[in-house]
Amino acid sequence: MDNTIAFTGLTKSFGRLPVLRQVGTTIGSGQVVGLFGRNGAGKTTLMRILYGMIGPDAGQASLLGLDPQAHPVEVRQRVGLVSEECHLYPWMDANALETFLAPLYPKWDRELFRRHLASMEVPPDRRVDALSRGTKRKLMLSLALAAQPEVLLLDEPLGGLDAVVREQIVTTLIHSLTDHGVTIFLSTHEIEQFAKVCDRVIILSHGGFLVDRETAALTDQVRRVTATLEHPVEAVPAHPQILSARAHGTQVEFVLNGFTQETADAILANWKVREVAVSGLTLPEIFIAFTAGKEEVS
């Protein structure tokens, strides 16, 4: 698998505030990778660095084999970005936007743009400032997709969209894109929505990657262990693999990262256990387990 997106040692600070610290990974062609993190974790900064809008303080990034800082034009012609920070010209309508943007993208497909507008129910002749927030987002998506990008960077793509369109985007659109080999790197708080389409999950916290695993492996390896003890306990002893834990009388519950039966047994060996249950976690639960109690600085 080729490295469509690759970055290593990316570091970025704004003033004296570190935002990214030595992060790096590779993403193959056609993958859908979700970047999750709390507010202020540095997701948008990472997206902007990858798109070449800002430069890192250290480290290197590559999209489609191109350095976005050195070749911003070539990268942007082949990479689409839908960002919540981007605002379209309020006095333009979809038609004017298309006329404006089409010459900038060599693979711009006018028909595809029309189809996306129609499928997302975006009126082509209404000024942007007369559109709802969700419709603006749909228009931005349509514009990004009309350029037929090889990589799509989505920064909070579902913000302001109603449930129907969300579902439409997640299930239909993303599958359709990946079928065409488009690599998608998305950052979102809508973890549950994207859980089913993400091949990989990256959890960003305090400028570093806490998790960078295949989605299936992650859900396999992070398990909740619930045990009923003979005697009440006050706390669960610290363990490097325990992400979160809770003790309530004779009931203890902890989330284990890198679950194995041996590890769970080793932790429970301190008590007389009456009953043990191991259950899986949803992706949002895993995210919370990893990031709860870790305030981000913004």
Partner 1 sequence: MMSILYKEYLEHRLFFLLMVLTGLGSLVIARWARVLDNGTGIVLLFLLEAPILTYVVAHQAVFREFQQGTLPFLAGLPLGRSRVWLAKALFAGLFAAALYLAFALLGTAFGLTLEPIRFDRLDLFVFRNAMALCGIPVLVVAVGLFTTLLLPEGGALLAIVFTATTALVGYATHALAGMNLLLLEVLVVVALLATSWYTFVTGNLFSAWRLALRAVLVLAACVAAGTLLWVGIDTLAEGAVRLEIPEQLRGSVTEDGRRFFGQVSATAALWDTIPADSYQRAVEIDLATGRGRPVARRTTAAGMPTRDGRGLFAYDPWVWPGVAARQDLLFLDLADGGRERRVDREAVPHFLLPDDTLLYTRFSTPGGHSLSEICRWSPARGTHPLTAFPTREFRGPWPVRLFSAMLLVAREGKTPSRLLSLADGALLPIPLPPGATLAAETSRFAVFGIHRSGRLWNTSAGTTWFALDASGTRRDLPGLPPQAELRGTLPDGRLLVRTESAERVAMGRPRTTTLSTYRVEDGASQTLAVFQDVTVVTHLAPDGGYVVCELVAENRAWTWLDLAALPPAGSANDRESGHAAPLSGSTVTPAKDLVGNRPAGGDQAATESRLPSGGQPTGAGQPGNPDQPATHRQLAPGGQLVPGGQAAPEPATTPVTTPPATALFPAPVTGEPAPALSPTPIRLPGDGFRTVICRPGHQALFYGKVGAAGELWEADLRQGSTRRRWALTF
Any contact of residue 273 with partner 1 (CB under 8 A)?
no
Q: Which of 1, 16, 39, 73 binds partner 1 (CB under 8 A)?
A: 73
Task: Using the minimum distance from each CB to partner 1, give the nearer residue, 99 or 298.
Answer: 99
Select from 111, 114, 157, 110 the least CA-distant residue to 138.
157
Stretch that binds partner 1, among 80-88, 159-167, 188-196, 248-256 (CB under 8 A): 80-88
CB of 23 to partner 1, least distance (A): 22
Q: What is the 3-state secondary structure (H, E, C) of 12-81?
A: EEECCEEEEEEEEEEEECCCEEEEEECCCCCHHHHHHHHCCCCCCCEEEEEECCECCCCCHHHHHHHEEE
Six token digits for residue 283: 């992706």
Any contact of residue 277 with partner 1 (CB under 8 A)?
no
Six token digits for residue 98: 């298309």
CB of 185 to partner 1, least distance (A): 15
CB of 140 to partner 1, least distance (A): 9
Six token digits for residue 90: 């309020």
Select from 183, 194, 126 the least CA-distant residue to 157.
194
- DSSP-assigned beta bridge partners for residue 7: 25, 61
Select from 253, 13, 277, 47 the least CA-distant residue to 151.
47
Query: Binding pattern to partner 1, positions 135-154, x when CB under 8 A?
Result: --------------------
Tell me the number of residues near partner 1 by CB under 8 A. Answer: 26
Task: Using the minimum distance from each CB to partner 1, give the nearer residue, 84 or 199.
Answer: 84
Any contact of residue 96 with partner 1 (CB under 8 A)?
yes
Question: What size, in residues, is the chain?
Answer: 298
Any contact of residue 245 with partner 1 (CB under 8 A)?
no
Contact set with partner 1 (CB under 8 A): 51, 53-54, 72-77, 81, 83, 85-92, 96, 99-101, 103-105
